[in-house]
Amino acid sequence: MYMMFFGSSVLLLVAMAVLWSIYPFRRGRWLLWINVVLFVGWCLVTFIAARSIGWEFVRQIFGMLMPMVFSPFVLLFLFAKRVNWMRIVKRYAVIVSWLAVFMIVFQIPAFPTFATYVLCFGVPILFFFLLYVWEKWLAGKWKRGWIAFGSVILVVAFIFGSLLMNATALNASGDDMVMDWGGGKDSGMKSELDVTKLAGPKETAVTERFQFTAATKKMKVPDGSTKELWLFNGQMTGPAIHVKQGDVVEVTLTNENIKDGVTIHWHGYDVPNAEDGVPDISQKAVAIGESYTYRFKADTVGTFWYHSHSQSSEQVGHGLFGSLIVDPKTKPDDELDMVAFVAPKYIDNDGALISSDEWPKQLLKDTKIRLRLTNAHNKPQKIVLNGVPFKVAAIDGNEVNQPTNVEGKYVQIPAGGRVDLTFVMPNNAVRIFDAKDESGGWVFQSERKSAAPSKEIPDEAFQRESYGTKMNSGLDVSKGFDREFTMVFDSKLAFFDGMVHHLWTINGKLYPNTPMLMVSEGDLVKTTFVNRSYSHHPMHLHGHKMLVLTRNGKATTGSPWWTDTLNIAPGETYEVAFKADNPGIWMDHCHNLDHATNGMMMHLQYDNVYTPFSGHTHE
């Protein structure tokens, strides 16, 4: 609905601007009346959107632009019988209508600044004054052609200057960053704990050791072409870390030739802060020729993954990632584990499934299969399993209570998210594929070979919020929260590196000026996500698991929905809760890693923790 409102608003305002541009040269009330109809249509679209998704999603666009868009009608009515003033109003209508188009496309943020108010309310008044000056004193002295040419140059310079100004925010020092205490007690910074002291177990406790070397390597990718990839131990995907609950894991990382440095982040695994792998927060990036050792206890069962967090948009995209699987101490022997990734866009833009293992393409009937899927792509992916009913056994490493069979639905995995699908091999072929992958994914045949299942993509999506059986979540939210935060996602355009880019904002700010969420250990925290942009934002909180409370105002009704990577689609609102029980300074960012690079990240900081590093991670 939000995209309908935004797209309709842009189209209606452009149509009005075109008609206002014709109006000074073509006499006819029909042009004026068409614009009246378009304006009423815009008001109606806004009303429908506000009723459907809430005033929060439309208030800034409509509230800031409506006076500007409506003002030509008012002025035409006031000066209907004064010829000289009518000429001014017609020219004014052309200028402000295109200014409104510019503002809705480029400049209306979720949290307007003083400059935004000046653009929406001050600039139209200034233009009207300048048009009056021109009509009264300059119209007979300057040729209209030069006036028109100068006006075009002025508008282009205004737009280009705005785009350049937006780009400067990415190079900010972070001095404008504010500490958000979420309505709770401002306890001040105690600075008692250095993040480097929040480390994993000692070396003597290690039970599983791994050696990783990060280096470049040319190899074939799924489409058959050869590309230079950046890999751990020369493998695509990286070496699988498959351990049992209770193991103490040690991974020593050596950087052979990755020029910007490399780290390892344990995505979804709540390790101590010093082991989190975020450069300039919990460690320095591992430079060429250097090594770094991570240690943590594998106390949580499930499907997780690891990846570099230094220049992660580029490094994950080039292949620096792998799987982390923690089995329970006693695991069923008759279940076949399959681990796969949706490839990142540089390796395969169509979402091919890749794995470090070779799986048999023929399976015995009644074989129990657990398919562990991780999305390493930047965008949410539709996963389709045709030919057999299946269960969604776990999401982001968290088991679903009493899952039921799913048929005729696709499962959407957010960027960075994981899903475990379980099924029993039938006496016919089964196909698992990404909806964008035209190659058709993987086909598994039974003993009785049959025609491969179709590549048909179901229309209906699997709905997590109502799936499984309700049970005690283990997190008591009945007595309220110690802190409550709201994060509103939006976008704007900027010009840098020779082209126009999208920047992605949180509460109107770009990193490093995004707010710092401040908590004390033991706090019960609620966060509200509001997506006012036109893109999906899979928000990933390091070091903690979030319990989803509501989606678009409706409470979840199924098995408790625990997650570390939550996809917020355009126009959606989520409420989540978590316990602040893992001290440190933790990233909270969009896992469309291009979005994180262009501003959409922030930190969650405990009030008694500090970092000896720069404090601003370089993404």
Q: Give 450-475 pLDDT, tens digit per residue.
A: 887 888 999 999 999 999 999 999 99
In a domain, 147, yes or no: no
pLDDT interval class at 418 (50, 70, 90): very high
Chain centroid offset of residue 167 CA: 20
In a domain, 338, yes or no: yes
As given in the structure block, the two tokens for residue 16 are 């009005």
pLDDT interval class at 150 (50, 70, 90): low
Closest Cα partner for 264 from 244, 249, 246? 249
pLDDT interval class at 29 (50, 70, 90): confident
Report whether pLDDT(411) > 90.
yes
424 and 490, same domain (yes or no): no
Look at residues 442, 466, 490 and tell me which one is the last residue of a structural domain: 466
Task: Give the pLDDT of residue 379.
Answer: 94
Q: Are strands 585-590 and 601-606 parallel, antiparallel or unpaired?
A: antiparallel
326 and 442, same domain (yes or no): yes
Task: Give the pLDDT of residue 109.
Answer: 62
Q: Report d(CA 313, CA 308) in Å as an integer.
A: 9
Closest Cα partner for 49 from 86, 1, 97, 92? 1
Give the structural domain span for 224. 203-466
Q: At what angle do helices 83-102 and 2-22 cross, to 10 degrees?
A: 150
pLDDT-wise least confident of 5-14, 301-310, 529-538: 5-14
Tell me if 307 is assigned to a ligand binding site: yes
Q: Give the mean model confidence (pLDDT) for residues 526-550.
A: 95
11 and 111, same domain (yes or no): yes
Please answer whether residues 303 and 397 qualify as being in contact, where contact means their C-beta atoms are separated by less than 8 angstroms: yes
Q: Compare 360 and 425 and report the one with higher pLDDT.
A: 425
Q: Give the mean model confidence (pLDDT) for residues 525-532.
A: 95
530 and 461, same domain (yes or no): no
Q: Give the mean model confidence (pLDDT) for residues 231-256.
A: 97
Residue with tokens 């131990």: 233
215: CB partners within 8 A, 6+ apart: 230, 231, 234, 256, 257, 258
Supply the pTM of this predicted model: 0.86
Q: Which of 112-121, 291-300, 351-360, 495-504 has the highest mean pLDDT?
A: 291-300
Instruction: Count other C-beta atoms under 10 Å from residue 484's C-beta.
Output: 16
Q: Report d(CA 595, CA 486) in Å as an integer.
A: 19
pLDDT interval class at 496 (50, 70, 90): confident
Q: Give the mean model confidence (pLDDT) for residues 23-33.
A: 78
Report whether pLDDT(107) > 60.
no
In a domain, 518, yes or no: yes
Residue with tokens 């399959």: 338
276 and 371, same domain (yes or no): yes
Polymer length of the chain: 619
In a domain, 555, yes or no: yes
Report whether pLDDT(148) > 60.
no
User: What tens digit of pLDDT does each residue of 247-274 get?
Assistant: 999 999 999 999 999 999 999 999 999 9
547 and 447, same domain (yes or no): no
Q: Report d(CA 335, CA 333) in Å as an integer.
A: 6
Task: Give the pLDDT of residue 132.
Answer: 75
Q: Give the mean model confidence (pLDDT) for residues 86-97.
A: 83
Residue 30 parent element (H or E): helix 29-53
pLDDT interval class at 62 (50, 70, 90): confident
Task: Give the pLDDT of residue 248.
Answer: 98
Task: Give the pLDDT of residue 585.
Answer: 96
Averaged pLDDT score across all residues of the chain: 89
Closest Cα partner for 613 from 127, 126, 282, 230? 282
Question: What is the number of domains present in the chain?
Answer: 3
pLDDT interval class at 235 (50, 70, 90): very high
Task: Give the pLDDT of residue 93.
Answer: 87
Prior bond of 237 cis (ω within 30°): yes
244 and 192, same domain (yes or no): no
Q: What distances in angstroms separate CA 345 from CA 265, 309, 315, 348, one per listed residue?
A: 20, 17, 12, 5
190 and 275, same domain (yes or no): no
Report whether pLDDT(173) > 70.
no
Q: Residue 369's domain is classified under what CATH number?
A: 2.60.40.420
In a domain, 165, yes or no: no
411 and 348, same domain (yes or no): yes
pLDDT interval class at 291 (50, 70, 90): very high
As given in the structure block, the two tokens for residue 277 are 């792998």
Q: Give the mean model confidence (pLDDT) for residues 320-338.
A: 91
Percent of the chain at pLDDT above 90? 60
Half-sphere exposure of 480 (CA within 13 A, CB side): 5
Q: Give the mean model confidence (pLDDT) for residues 319-338.
A: 91
Look at residues 466, 494, 522 and tell me which one is the last residue of a structural domain: 466
In a domain, 59, yes or no: yes
Task: Give the pLDDT of residue 160.
Answer: 73
pLDDT interval class at 318 (50, 70, 90): very high
Task: Give the pLDDT of residue 619.
Answer: 55
Report whether pLDDT(444) > 70.
yes
418 and 291, same domain (yes or no): yes
Instruction: Count other C-beta atoms under 10 Å from residue 418's C-beta.
Output: 27
Task: Give the pLDDT of residue 119.
Answer: 72
In a domain, 617, yes or no: no
In a domain, 619, yes or no: no
Q: At what angle do helices 59-78 and 83-102 cross, to 10 degrees?
A: 170
229 and 273, same domain (yes or no): yes
Percent of the chain at pLDDT above 70? 92
pLDDT interval class at 87 (50, 70, 90): confident
424 and 411, same domain (yes or no): yes
